[in-house]
Structure 1
Amino acid sequence: CLTASSNTDGATVVVEPCTTNNAAQTWVQNGQTLLVFGNKCLDVTNGVTNTNGVKMQIWTCTPGQGDAAQHWSITSTKTIQWAGQTECLDLSGGRLTSGNQIQVWLCENGNANQVWNLV
């Protein structure tokens, strides 16, 4: 499961085994933002664009609807694409190892590292 490593600005976003009622794994779509812990947004570290491998973090949501580094689009093919960009959330190296940090990578149709099941 997509997991915030803590409830602080700059906390990494990693993959961890899914657990019931885990606030760090409870993401809510609010417009173009994906929220965890009620006020933290999924955020591209430093808002770096057009660079494969930039790691994900959480950050206090910018008032309104977040800033550009906090805007996401969930596609019909179950990818989570950075809004207005060509990058998608990506499982680094395809590794499901606990603690593997999530990154953005150029969106590629059929790339299993970029498919997310929303439950």
Structure 2
Amino acid sequence: MFSRNLFSVLSVSVSLSLCTNAQFIGEPGNCLAATNNADGAAVVIEECGNNATALNSWVVPQGADQIGTIQIFGDKIVFEDQMWLPSGGEATIKWPGTSKCVDLTNSDLADGNQIQIWDCDETLSNPNQIWNVLAVTEPKSFTVSLKKDTSLCITASSNATNAAVVVDTCKPGSVLQTWSDPKNNGQIALADNQCITLDGSIANDGTKLILSPCVESSVDIFQLWSHQTGVLNSGAAAKSCIDLTNGVETPANQLQLWTCWLFTTEVDNTNQDWIVNNTF
């Protein structure tokens, strides 16, 4: 999966990081990296954390869910003359026209382990093929729409503390639907420094989402989220994510926390699929 919005932004520069479990923006990870900007150089795994370099940053010209090259920040592409299909959300990087995917060889995260091609696991249960992406270019702001009904956006019912976080009809330019991550640590904040938070700081299924003043001096895990297309994981419970309560697509339905389908079943839960639209 690619960048916070590799899903819709063209030619965004990203670092590909292996997601063996839910991983949040800014946390240390292991990245796809070229050993050199030269023909025939091996593509390997390496520990990268927050460090974007010319050898672990990539350009995906066509964006997510579109066939195209994956080009290193120099001028070489992964496997010349071969095209790849990066997916949005926690997902695979597939070789179009085949059943092969980019795969971490022997599950080995040691620096220098060369990446291989392997039969795709269509159930997305093979962690060696699930990739997360950290944006090198951070968005200034973003909106979040429901994948199954893109006319609905994650919305603050007001900008007041304890205001409910709901779905509502998308309104371009709405200050109650325009979010940012001011510290690039996983917060989802309005312009007036109110962050999406778990009500009561409780990370249980069914906990409703509200606004509370963004914590700036320390890390509040109840305000941290992965905000990229796909499931929006909670920093307080990595296997739980933002969920459309009871699947009700009526404006003003307050959102909740719920166990992510990705970790419990092979069946997609469309109440948890979101599209993040970034503005750079």
Alpha-carbon distance in 1 for matches of 2:219, 2:196? 10
Partner of 2:275: 117
Over 3 Å counting, the alpha-carbon distance change for 1:24 and 1:65 in structure 2 is farther
Whether the 8 Å contact between 2:165 and 2:210 is mirrored in structure 1 is: yes
TM (normalized to structure 2)? 0.40
Alpha-carbon distance in 1 for matches of 2:248, 2:202? 23
2:242 pairs, out of 61, 86, 89, with: 89
Whether the 8 Å contact between 1:33 and 1:66 is mirrored in structure 2 is: no
Aligned length: 117
Alpha-carbon distance in 2 for matches of 1:112, 1:65? 34
Greater length-normalized contact order (CA 8 Å, ≥ 6 residues apart): 1
Residue deviations 1:51-106 (CA, integer Å, cap 9, x gap) = 2111000111012354111011236x611100151210000011110110000001
Name structure 1 gaps, 5 residues minimum.
Answer: none
Alpha-carbon distance in 2 for matches of 1:4, 1:17? 12
TM (normalized to structure 1)? 0.90
Name structure 2 gaps, 5 residues minimum.
Answer: 1-152, 263-267
Which segments of structure 1 move beyond 2 Å, counting only runs of 4 or more? none
Q: Counterpart amino acid of 1:7?
A: N
Alpha-carbon distance in 2 for matches of 1:2, 1:84? 20
Partner of 2:77: none
1:43 and 2:197 correspond: yes
Partner of 2:210: 57
